[in-house]
């Protein structure tokens, strides 16, 4: 039996086992997927145990700390500066970042245009990675932040300039007198605004939703945020973070075992796990 796990701090609410178990079952894999809570000290002390696994995922707070413990880093890990997936081949551990694969695959499945005008709300954590990924796809990017996060947005803009020197990036301040574009092909919320328990909050006003052709919200609890409700009421394609969570897991299975999944199979897993929320 192959063995995999998710390492992180507090993992009590993780849906990773349910996602990976379904993906393993679809390909008839004899494998187990567990949860392993580790402190920062335990990550180093128990790393020899992780080396015996066939692969593992990483979440907060170990996505950076695990990097120097690995034998190799894939270009995705180097690009985004974090590792969330490790594969063992020939006794060597290679770190990958599959988070943005999950985002890009989710947006493509919606039929949204990534190479057009993209409005990104927030750029910390996952937002930073989405900004880099969108710019790499040729997006003309507008990043909306609160005033105190302007330095963070400027730093992300500088990172984008290194990886995608021709990318167009504008920074606007929420609530200020900002000049937005007349139309956005995609609006992405990468902030916690609208997350349980503050489910009635929305990160942008109705006007910005109205000029956006599609909406993606990284939040998956609730499954239908106020932002997604408003977008769907206007007839816009809208997707939540569960799609990203499942699709990044799909990439992990490709790295671990070479397994591929159809869009229909992926959608089935998204729907199945969504019922657990």
- Check pLDDT > 80 for residue 176: no
pLDDT at residue 242 in the model: 98
Q: What's the CATH fold of domain 2-98+243-274?
A: Rossmann fold (3.40.50)
Dump pLDDT digits (tens) for 220-243: 999 999 999 999 999 999 999 999
Mean pLDDT of the chain: 97
The domain ranges of the chain are 2-98+243-274, 112-236
pLDDT at residue 248 in the model: 98
Peptide bond into 213 cis (omega under 30): no
Q: Of all helices (H) and strands (E), which one includes residue 96?
A: strand 92-96
Instruction: Determine which one of 63, 113, 157, 230 is catalytic.
Output: 63
User: Predicted confidence band at 67 (pLDDT cuts at 50, 70, 90)?
Assistant: very high
DSSP 81: T
pLDDT at residue 257 in the model: 97
Question: Once rounded to an integer, what is the mean pLDDT over residues 131-155?
Answer: 97
- Check pLDDT > 80 for residue 208: yes
The tokens describing 29, both together, are: 């894999």
Separation CA 84–CA 245 (nearest Å): 12
63 catalytic per annotation: yes
CATH topology identical between 2-98+243-274 and 112-236: yes
Separation CA 154–CA 211 (nearest Å): 25
pLDDT at residue 39 in the model: 97
pLDDT at residue 178 in the model: 72
Cβ 66 vs Cβ 15: under 8 Å: no
Q: Where does 57-194 have alpha helices with state H?
A: 75-80, 99-110, 126-136, 150-163
235: Cα within 13 Å, side-chain hemisphere: 0
Cβ 66 vs Cβ 83: under 8 Å: yes
- Check pLDDT > 80 for residue 193: yes
Question: Once rounded to an integer, what is the mean pLDDT over residues 98-113?
Answer: 96
Q: What is the per-residue burial (b if ≥16 Cβ within 10 Å, else e) of 143-161? A: bbbeeebeebbeebbebbe
User: Predicted confidence band at 15 (pLDDT cuts at 50, 70, 90)?
Assistant: very high
Distances (CA, A) of 72 to 12, 76, 161: 30, 12, 25
Question: Once rounded to an integer, what is the mean pLDDT over residues 234-263?
Answer: 98
pLDDT at residue 177 in the model: 72
Distances (CA, A) of 247 to 109, 122, 156, 240: 10, 22, 24, 12
Percent of the chain with pLDDT over 70: 100
Sequence-separated (6 or more) residues with CB below 8 Å from residue 12: none
Sequence-separated (6 or more) residues with CB below 8 Å from residue 226: 194, 199, 200, 201, 202
Percent of the chain with pLDDT over 90: 97
- Per CATH, the number for 112-236 is 3.40.50.720
């Amino acid at each position: 039996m192959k063995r995999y796990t998710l390492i992180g701090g507090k993992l009590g609410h993780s849906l990773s086992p349910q996602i990976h178990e379904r993906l393993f079952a679809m390909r008839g894999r004899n494998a187990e997927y567990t949860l392993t809570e580790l402190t920062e000290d335990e990550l180093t002390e128990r790393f020899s145990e992780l080396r015996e696994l066939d692969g593992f995922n990483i979440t907060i707070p170990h996505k950076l700390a695990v990097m120097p413990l690995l034998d190799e880093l894939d270009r995705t890990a180097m690009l985004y500066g974090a590792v969330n997936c490790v594969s063992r081949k020939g006794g060597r551990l290679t770190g990958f970042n599959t988070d943005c694969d999950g985002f890009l695959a989710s947006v493509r499945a919606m039929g949204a245009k990534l190479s057009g005008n993209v409005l990104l709300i927030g750029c910390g954590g996952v937002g930073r990675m989405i900004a880099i990924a969108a710019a790499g796809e040729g997006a003309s990017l507008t990043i909306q932040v609160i005033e105190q996060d302007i330095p963070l947005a400027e730093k992300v803009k500088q990172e984008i300039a290194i990886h995608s020197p021709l990318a167009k990036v504008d920074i606007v301040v929420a609530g200020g007198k900002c000049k937005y574009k007349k139309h956005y092909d995609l609006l992405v919320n990468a902030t916690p605004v609208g997350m349980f328990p503050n489910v009635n909050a929305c990160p942008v006003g109705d006007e910005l939703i109205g000029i956006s052709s599609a909406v993606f919200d990284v939040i998956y609890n609730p499954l239908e945020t106020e932002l997604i409700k408003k977008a769907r009421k206007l007839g816009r394609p809208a997707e939540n973070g569960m799609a990203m969570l499942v699709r990044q897991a799909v990439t992990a299975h490709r790295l671990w075992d070479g397994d591929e999944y159809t869009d229909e199979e992926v959608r089935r897993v998204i729907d199945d796990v969504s019922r657990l929320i």
